[in-house]
Amino acid sequence: MNTQPAPQHTSAWVAFTYASFLGSATMVGGGILFLPLDLWIKGYLAMGVVMLVQSCITMVKTVRDVHESKRMLNRIEDARAERLLMEMSKE
């Protein structure tokens, strides 16, 4: 039976994803706050939105991975599959 634990994200990676999300959200918020609609402001907002989307994707993936690693269902299914393979090899 496979007793290796599921890979875990380091606390540094989790902290980085949250910091990245907050940083990009702050950039967009600051850009909207000072919105005189000059061309360089539009460029700033565009970069902030791109970073926000990228950070959201990274954060969602990390939160999902942390959640899945805590689930016992994967361990139960692995044990069942291992038992079935052992029974098949005996026959």
pLDDT digits (tens, 9 = 90+) for 26-71: 887 788 777 888 888 778 887 888 888 899 899 999 998 888 877 7
Say if CB 27 and CB 44 are below 8 A apart.
yes
The better pLDDT of the pair 83, 13 is held by 13
Say if CB 2 and CB 79 are below 8 A apart.
no
Residues in contact with 52: Cβ distance below 8 Å, sequence separation at least 6, in sequence order: 21, 24, 25, 27, 28
- Give the global pTM: 0.52
The separation between CA 5 and the C-alpha centre of its own chain, rounded to angstroms, equals 19
